[in-house]
Amino acid sequence: MSPAAGELAGARGEGGGVEARRVFIGAGCNRVVNNVSWGACGLVAFGTQNAVALFSPQRGEIVTTLPGHKAPVNCTLWLPTKKDVLQVRGRDTYYLLSGSADGTIMAWKIGSGKGDWSHVLQLPGMHKKGITCLAGRMVSDTVAIFASTSSDGIVVIWELVIEPTTAAGSCKVSCLHSLSVGSKPMVSLSIAVLPEQGSHLILAMGGLDHKIHIYCGDKSGKFIKACELKGHSDWIRSLDFSLPVMISGEKHNLFLVSSSQDRTIRIWKMDSEAISPGSTARLRKANIEMTSYIEGPLFVAGNTSYQVSLESLLVGHEDWVYSVEWQPPTLLPGDEAHQAMSILSASMDKMMMIWKPEKNTGLWINSVTVGELSHSALGFYGGHWQPDGKSILAHGYGGSFHMWRDVGVDSENWQPQIVPSGHFAPVSDLTWAKSGQYLLSVSHDQTTRIFALWRNQVNPGDIIYWREIARPQIHGHDINCVAFIQGSGNHRFISGADEKVSRVFEAPLSFLKTLQQATLLKPDISDDFDNVQVLGANMSALGLSQKPIYTHGVKESPSSNSSDGPDSMETIPDAVPTVFTEPPVEDQLAWNTLWPESHKLYGHGNELFSLCCDYEGKLVASSCKAQSAPVAEIWLWEVGTWKAVGRLQSHNLTVTQMEFSRDNAFLLSVSRDRHLSIFSIKKTREGVEHHLVAKHEAHKRIIWACSWNPFGYEFATGSRDKTVKIWRVQDTSSVKLLATLPQFRDSVTALAWIGRDSASNAGILAAGMDNGLIELWTVSGGRASAGNTSDSSPLVAACMLQFDPLMCHVSTVHRLRWREPDSSDEKSALELASCGADHCVRVFDVHCRT
């Protein structure tokens, strides 16, 4: 079975001769509370920029992203929920709700295990600002009641009705009621069915006023305020009702757990008592007396009264407690749901805790603590139980997931598990390694990440998955561009960020050995590892430079040498470079996989914007943001000496992309000034000779992308004017327009050309657009005849494939890169990598059938 074959949608072109499969998605989680939901179907839903992503904890990979929202996704909710154990049995279709920052709520239908998902409907626009929380419960097999709250101070009650009569299993959503909560909005909700009152519901909401507001209602959605619970001294961040609990044979009690930015957790108990017709007045009178101060408020729903009391106050976290969640119930024989007395909390102190009552005394204690030991400033936004209670999942400030599973037999033993990872901000550039063994991406989240197929499996027949295997650069500025240094020698790359300096990095020994473990291939550097003296790298205190750790270095504590220096307040420990035999988890990636910085290249006057390297690994070209001709110069750097050997002048505004021709004879550049430029590049003993061959106003708007034909001097340019033009350098002194492709649906922001047949000059041109969609075009002909450069065979171009939107990005495609095909295997699929503003890195297999 191929990776995630069940979840990969194929896409076909008009000719039917090409097929694409998405084989990898790398993405981080939006950094907001309530963003993650672990469904009873086993999938985890979360927002990544404007998309809803689904990941399989069992496989540790993202299986799809769902497009539709026009703003970042803030919260998700599965229906049936993990608490609806009676409604989950035998169900193969689930519904997922997602709310975004523009107030939109969408519903999706998810087929469990089938790998099919579809957008069902968009709910009526009841909210004017961002959705902050969704909470709901099934009240029957086909009806769910759920609530949404927003920054606009409105809480809306909705009804979702599943229509089983239709084969499609569609659903209908209607608005039942709307509650205005005033100027201090609610940010957390929980809803439950009242015990012994099947038709009555209870809704708890908390927010900026430090109070928990309890509302009672019925299935019609009419909710009336019942009481307030006071005690917290800061914002209420999370609420969760338990299922009714029978304690020592007593009547069923309902528990509510709340957490707050005051760092505490409170457990509230609601005792139910049936009301006889004559006792109503007595209860209400008692409510006014001391019991309301000692035990808490009393409220009535239907023919039952409920006495609220504070069961326990849990103090253990050292920072804001962002989420609390009861362990999901289990189904006992006789269709009875059993609620375990266990609570999971997650906090900004980088810790998750499991709280349980002590057997003898009944006092709630912290029985399990797991956490992140990284040195990032902030911790967890939320924690979630697996439906069976065997695993727990947290999502953190770095857009990262952290999962632990209880693998103990006789006693609890919580161990870290592999989870998906990725960038949590727009991914600005990516490149394949010179060997094609891995993919390197850079992002505005200020990190550089390496993704590769992890082939080192316990069982040879196991499915092979893409994993993040290293994080070579963690920076203090947004990273805009990257280029891999080609040629022989060690793995090296150069990156440019929102600073005036380019930085060169070289692979340490720990990475080379980890790569060998992951790919099961021999290293492709000379003399194996003998000439690599650097084991890893340490992060500097300011997060800019990364200092090498040498294999034979003196092991001494840097703090002992600088106890009286200016950095004595820093408590950042040394990294521990490690050779990984299994994919590293977030803690290890964030600290122990850095590459040492070998050089800094100074020269540009503004922030770096574009980089490229020639195919011999001899020259690097760089450009920066510019609003004038002197600043818009392209600098040439000699690899090895890292000296500036040329400054190319042509453009007046930022050079957006550059690329060397395959024989390194020409450098192509495109710019915001709507011009393309061709420079002749010639290496000499004295240095580099260069001159401007041609400059042409190529488009009516900004030119974002360019790419050379690997077989010749043809090249393509893509622009905001929604066109792609194909040109040829002729007479080594001019540029001729060969063709303009039919207008695209949106701005063209990325291009990548790969050769297929040298004899017919045939290749495939991949084009990415501002709306996130990707198309493949077949291009052939256009080559000049021998001895007559003005005469050429006609160029033929046709769209061969439009990718399914479910496979594509949901925002601007920033870069497309083809992996150089393996010459030894002509039948192997082509691999296309893409990155975009939706925080995603994607890899596609493209199969061309002749």
pLDDT at 789: 53
Output the pLDDT for position 525.
54
Q: Is the pLDDT score of 750 beyond 70? A: yes
**HSE-up of residue 810 (Cα within 13 Å, Cβ side):** 23
Q: What is the per-residue pLDDT across 490-538, written as a single tens digit (0 to 9) for each? A: 899 999 999 999 999 999 999 998 998 888 776 655 445 667 777 777 7
Residue 449 and residue 397 share a domain: no
| Cβ atoms of 705 and 668 closer than 8 Å | no
Q: Is the pLDDT reported for residue 620 higher than 50?
A: yes
Chain-centre distance for alpha carbon 85 = 30
Asked if 445 and 390 sit in the same domain, the reply is no
- Sequence-distant (6+) residues with CB within 8 A of 595 are 470, 472, 473, 505, 506, 507, 508, 511, 537, 546
CB 393 within 8 A of CB 352: no
pLDDT band at 12 (very low <50, low <70, confident <90, very high): very low
Return the SS3 of 510: helix
Instruction: For residue 293, give the amino acid letter.
Output: Y
Output the pLDDT for position 790. Answer: 56
Percentages of the chain per state (helix, strand, coil), in multiples of 5: 5, 50, 45
203 found inside a domain: yes
- The residue range of the domain holding 302 is 31-275+291-408
Where do we find the tokens 């850079």? 442
Q: What pLDDT is attached to residue 457?
A: 62
Do 616 and 758 reside in the same domain of the chain? yes
Measured at the alpha carbon of residue 224, what is the angle toward residues 222 and 230, in degrees to the nearest 5? 140
pLDDT-derived band at 544, boundaries 50, 70, 90:
low
Let me know if residue 14 belongs to a domain.
Answer: no
Decide if 610 contacts 656 (C-beta within 8 A): yes
Q: Which DSSP state fits 196?
A: T
Average pLDDT on 135-146 reads 92
| Residue 838: CATH number of its domain | 2.130.10.10
Q: DSSP state, 278?
A: G
pLDDT of 729-741, one tens digit each?
Answer: 987 778 999 999 9
Evaluate whether residue 679 is within a structural domain: yes
111, 222: one domain: yes
Mean residue pLDDT across the chain? 86
Query: Does one domain contain both 389 and 431?
Result: no
**Do 400 and 431 belong to one domain?**
no
Confidence label for 3 from pLDDT (cuts 50, 70 and 90): very low
Tens-place pLDDT, residues 73-112: 999 999 999 998 888 887 888 999 999 999 999 999 887 6
- 490 and 397 in a common domain: no
- Convert the pLDDT of each residue in 262-292 to its tens digit: 999 999 999 888 776 555 444 444 444 444 4
Burial of 430 (0-12, 13-18, 19+ CB in 10 A): buried
Count of other CB atoms within 10 angstroms of residue 533: 13
Could you tell me if 157 and 64 lie in one domain? yes
Domain presence at residue 417: no
Q: Is the pLDDT of residue 804 over 50?
A: yes
pLDDT of residue 166: 53
Structure confidence at residue 668 as a pLDDT band (50, 70, 90): very high
Comparison of pLDDT for 173 and 119, the residue scoring more: 173
Length of the chain: 850
Examine residue 560 and state whether it is found in any structural domain, yes or no. no
Question: 3-state class of 206 per DSSP?
Answer: strand
pLDDT at residue 273, as a whole number: 80
Is residue 628 assigned to a domain?
Answer: yes
Q: Give the per-residue pLDDT at 535.
A: 77
416 part of a folded domain: no
On whether the CB atoms of residues 316 and 353 are closer than 8 A, the answer is yes
Q: Tell me how far apart the alpha carbons of residues 510 and 286 are, in angstroms, rounded to a whole number.
A: 71
Q: Which residues pair with 227 in a beta bridge?
A: 214
My answer on whether 44 and 88 are in the same domain is yes
The pLDDT of 179-198, averaged and rounded, is: 87
Q: Sheet holding 105-111: strands in order across? A: 73-79, 93-100, 105-111, 116-122
Pseudo-torsion of CA 192, 193, 199, 200, nearest 10°?
Answer: -60
Please write the tens of the pLDDT for every residue from 636-653: 999 989 999 999 999 999
Residue 634 has pLDDT above 80, yes or no: yes
Q: What is the pLDDT of residue 145?
A: 93
For residue 162, is it within any domain?
A: yes
Whether the pLDDT of residue 560 is over 60: the answer is no
- Whether residue 785 is predicted with pLDDT greater than 60 in this model: the reply is no
Q: What is the largest CA-CA distance in the chain?
A: 109
Tens digit of each residue's pLDDT (9 = 90 or more) over 566-595: 333 345 567 788 888 889 998 888 888 999
For residue 844, name the pLDDT band (cuts at 50, 70, 90). very high
Q: What pLDDT score does 786 carry?
A: 47
Comparing 206-220, 432-446, 509-523, 832-846, which segment has the lowest mean pLDDT?
A: 509-523
Average pLDDT over residues 145-165: 89
Contact 776, 20 (CB under 8 A): yes
Distances (CA, A) of 600 to 90, 182, 445, 493, 499: 61, 55, 21, 12, 11
Percent of the chain with pLDDT over 90: 61
Q: Quick count: other Cβ atoms within 10 Å of Cβ 277? A: 6
Q: What is the pLDDT of residue 553?
A: 58
**Rounded Cα gap, residues 466 and 455, in angstroms:** 9
Distance CA 279, CA 295 (A): 19
Query: Do 393 and 444 belong together in one domain?
Result: no
Helices (H), 506-608: 509-519, 558-561, 586-592
Taking residue 102's Cβ as centre, other Cβ atoms within 10 Å add up to 17
pLDDT digits (tens, 9 = 90+) for 468-490: 999 999 988 999 999 999 888 88
Going through 82-170 in order, the beta strands assigned E by DSSP cover 93-100, 105-111, 116-122, 131-138, 143-150, 154-162
Whose CA is closest to 501, among 480, 486, 484, 485? 480
| 592 and 483 co-located in one domain | yes
Q: Which three-class secondary structure string do you get for 750-813?
A: EEEEEEEECCCCEEEEEEEECCCCEEEEEEECCCEECCEEEEECCCEEEEEEECCHHHCCCCCE
Q: Are residues 404 and 434 in the same domain?
A: no
Number of independent structural domains in the chain: 2
Weakest-pLDDT range from 22-36, 112-126, 201-215, 677-691: 112-126
Q: Which residue has the tokens 């050079």?
A: 655
Q: Calculate mean pLDDT across residues 163-169.
A: 61
pLDDT at 336: 82
